Every structure is written in C-alpha cells, then in structure tokens.
Structure 1
Amino acid sequence: MHEDCAAQAQINVSEAPQTPIRLPPELILEILEDVLAEPHNITDLALVSKAIASLLYRLLYSTVLLPSPERIRSFAEDVISTAPGLICQHVKRVIFTWEGQPSKETLDFARDILLACTEAHTLALPGCLVPSLLADDNPQCLPTTLTHLTLGSFSMSNIPPNHARPSFSNLTHLRIADPFGLFTTPRAMFKHLGSLPNLTHLYVPHVIMRWPDTDDDFVDDVVALLHERDKLHCLIVGLCLPRIQQPSEEYDRDRDYELEERVRQASTAWTRVKQLQEAEERLLIIRADVTGAWLREWKNAGSIKKPFDFWRETISEGLSERKREGSCQSQSGEKGRDLWP
C-alpha cells in the first residue's frame, strides 16, 4: 500500500456525483496514474467521478501495511473518520509488520481496524500482537471472512484454549511463520486456535536439534496431524537451524551454507520427513530461517504489478525439493497448489 497516498485519501466520495463519467479506459488509467503520483488530487477527483475515485480507493487499500504504531493509529483514524464502508469495503489484506511492545492505545487502534475491516480475507499478526488480539474477549474482534492467517510466532501460554473460534471457521490457510522460544507441537496449537474445520493449507516451523527428542516429537505430531485431517491438502514443514541472534547482513556474508546443509540433512527431522514424503504427497519440506523472514517478504506487498504470494512460492519450493530428492514420483492433481486470494 502507498502510505503517502493513503494518508491523504480522506475525502468522502459519497458526496460526489452518482452518475459516473464515461471515459475511454486509457484516459481512466492516465487519471489514476496522475492521482497516484500527486495524492492531493484525490479530493478533486472525488468531486468529479465517484466511480473512478472508488477504483482508486480499491488500488490504495486492497493491501494495508501497518509497520509502526503511528501508521496503525493513522489508518484507524482513517476508517473511523470516513463514511461507513468507504475505505473498509476495499480492504482485503491487513498486514501488521511492527514488532515492538504494544501500548494499550496501539492495541485499541488495532482492534478498531480489525472490527472495521469486515471484508478482509487475509491477516498477518506479529508475535507481539497475537496474545492480545487472539485472546480478546470480544468475539467480533477478528473478521469472520478470514481465510488466510499468518502469525509471526505462537505461544500456547499466551492464548487460552478455545475449541470454537467463530472468526476462524472459514480459515483455509494458516502459517506460523517463526518458531517460538519453547517447543510447541503443531497439534497443540489447535487447542488454542480452535478446530479450524476448513483448514486446507498449513505451514509450521521447527528448529532442528535444539533439544533432545524434539525432532522425533515434532515429526510424530506431523504424522498424526496428516492422519486426523482429511481436508488438509498441503502441510509444509519449514526446518530451521538453531541460531542465537536474528539474521543480519554481516551474518549472511559469513554464512557457511555447505555446513548448514550438512547439519540440516543430518537431523532426525529432515531424514524422517523425507521418508514420509514417499507415501504422503501432501507433505512438503523447505529450508527456513529462524526469525524475521516473513517481515521481509512483505516489503513489496503493496505493489500492484507484483503482489506477494507466500503459498505459491513456498509450495513451488517444496515441490522442487521433492523433485530433486526423487522421494515422491506422484505429483498429479491440484493438491497443495491453491493460491491465496
């Protein structure tokens, strides 16, 4: 989302003429490009053509990126101050990418945004916001239209058990982006996130060889999960190497990728998942980083020409890994190939 444009897109287009101006598509595109380049012109545009202004709102707000408390507050004020539904009807993805310690004010603004964006199908929450927003007593805090959910991290101790979360009844794609400090089995999450009856795609991370027996416990849980969930089309396992600190440019320059690969492939988790793939086409495996990768992935999320698609890219990576290893010859059908909306 273009933040400078969005911050100035405050005009109530409901006051604009109801009859759209008939213009050639080329001219409409030229008008849109002009307003995107000069956001202050949206006021004049809204007074001329409600239809074109509405299209501009759709371009600006389909993906909302919220990288700071200031941006969270600004967007919350936008949706509260404009006419009901003017902005929110166009919001399809709400992406919080700020990872600080939230104040009560920031949490209140975040709730206001989620309460207003009733048409959103995709939500991404950093670990710092997960406990407050998922443990919220207000059942209407999250849109019931959600189909895609990304959690920066997950800790069972921060979220009370709940086997029937109405907000997640339509959820089809769940991604736990980064492993939490304490080991958590995938199936244990469902005691807190709800039954997720329509879940078809799941991504879970795991840090290999961090503690004794956790590799076996993790893989055993993956096996049980695949057995219990017939609707699950694709389960992607992201295996991470233990790392003390967050990746940095200095660290990346000095990385020994060959050593990392030997360590990864020597782990129990890598070996067992590879063996399971021979009989389970729904199971994919990728190499993953311990922390922060999902935030970097959203840098270009506001690009109209190149929207971000985690599931397509990650499933493609998992299928390529399977093909390289030759561990599963059958790749027929469309399982695991669904793209996010």
Structure 2
Amino acid sequence: MPDGRGAGRDRRGAERSWGPWTVVKLDALSGYLPAFTQASQRAKRTMFIDVLAGSTENTARDTGEAVIGSAERALQVSPPFSRVVLCERDERKVAALKEHLAQHHPDRDVKVLHGDCNEKVPEYLAALAAEEPHPVWRWAVTFALVDQYSADVRWNTLEALANFRIGDRKTELWIYFGDSFFPRGLSTGPAYEARMDDLFGGDPDWHVLHRGWRAGEVPGSEFSKELVNLMRWKLQHDLGYATTIPLKMVRPSGHGLYHMIFATDHDVGERIMRHVLQGAEKELEGMVARQKMRTVLERQDRHAGIEGLSGLNDWAIDTAEPRGPGQLLLLDPPRPPWQPAAASGD
C-alpha cells in the first residue's frame, strides 16, 4: 500500500505505521461502504473483497494512536456485508487476521485467502462461478478494494473482478494507484518494467507512453498524470465501467503520493462516491494548509529568535484553511491515451 509506512510493529508482529493521509483514505472507505450496503438492501447477497488485506489494527505515525484497517472497517459496516473475502500473502498477517476474526467475528461469513492475490482471487472467483447447482454469488452486489503498494496487482486480476458478476452492474472497484512511485520503480530496470506491463495488461498504449517517457517526450511531471489517465481509460473502455473518479492523495507537504481511483457503472454509486471523495479532498487540503501554516510560523519564530506563544501557534495551525477551489479530485472523464506528436497529427 502506497503509504510510505515506517517499521513499527504491533503486538502481532505486523509492520504498520501510517501517515495522516491514510486515516483520510480509510475514513473515506468507512464513509462509502455503509451507503453501498444500504443501497444494495434489495439484493439477496452483498460481498466485500479486500485483495491485499494487511492488518486489522495499525498505528498512526503522527499520534501513535491505533488505526482500524480496511478489513475491520468492512466488517463493522451496517447493514453488514453478506460475505467478506480477505486475501493476504504474508503468513503472519494471515494468522493475525484469523485470530482476530475468531475472537471478534466468529459468526460472520468471512473467507481468508492465503497467497498471491493475482492467483488466489481469480481462483476463488472462478470457484464461485462454478458452484452447483447455481452460482448464486455471481449475483451478489460486490465491492472490491485493491490496496496495492506499487504495481502489485495484475490487469487480469482487475479483469476477473470486473467481470465476475452476472447482471446489469459490475463489481465496483476502488484501486490505489501509486503513480508517483512508478517512475522511480521503472528507473530500476526490466524487472519493474515487467510488473508495470502486468499492471496494464501489456497494453500497446502503455508501451507507447513508456517509450515516450524514456525518450524525454513525456516530462516527468506529466508522466504520472498520463499513467492515471491511461488506467482510467482502460477501466472505462476495456472493462466497461461508466465512470472513474480519481482523488490525489498527498503528504502534508502537498507532494503527491498516489491516486485512489473509483470505478463504477452505477449512477447511485457515482453520486455517493463523489460526495465522499469531496469530503476527503477537503480533509487532505486542510492537512496541507495546516502544515503550511506550521512551517510559516516556525520560520517567523526562528527569524525573530523567539519561541511560539503558548497556544497561539496551535490555534493558528488548527484553524488554517486551504485557499482556492479543490485541486485533488478530478471529475472530468479520461482523455485518449498519450501518443507521440507525429502519431497524433500535432
């Protein structure tokens, strides 16, 4: 998961130390899931799939307080999901998940898949599709969280999730897309290039964009934007989603980390998620505004050779507001993928 987490260990030995942007991300998830299950009450079954489940409890880096992870948040949703599916590769985290579930959710329908999500999740979905006498879970209204760190999930896994359901609506996808991490990874050589190729499913447009970046035709500042646009384009044009909504996740400094890309073909889901992500955008921009105010006050105090007045700096920081309209949430549709100037006729 692209959170730049540290190496602190919880009591079960799982490494999880999260920045403040992660709390915003998880709160947005908690804001959407109850609306998802509420809107799906007419369905006989609902299912939540966490492709990279991780730990149930974690630590906030700035406060040291416990942060509830995505799996537990899904289990706390009301109305509840009929089934929760958790996939995790790390053996210690799988053991911790099972212990937590036995202690806190013994009566819930929860499936824990141990292994590589690119193998286990498609296998599990295929098994559900082959159930006799009827594949009832293919009718379940389904939400999938793809909480990857850096090109961990392959395109065919996204494809399996998107195409799993029978009926009018696809599985809703919420993908963490580490666009700011990809250029650094690609600079390491062929192994990471192969991972990126898997992420985009060997798409020719990906190869064109990658060559353009390597040749200097796509500046580094634009490469990340073009990667986000290409993923959105593929989700809509290749997998058939009606809408994709990306929210840029940032550090308190304002520097970008990754995008949360939500994909749906349901107008209700789009409307609810827009509202949820607008709230998350406001929280992120407030975080950046407070950090900027803190930096300004500290600089002024150093220049004056004084210490900040007790309580006054804290008040100024806590009440700092972002300037101007939101810049992190993109509601415009994706553009056609990047092409060289000669190819595009420019």
Q: TM-score, normalised by structure 1?
A: 0.31
Q: TM-score, normalised by structure 2?
A: 0.31
Greater length-normalized contact order (CA 8 Å, ≥ 6 residues apart): 2
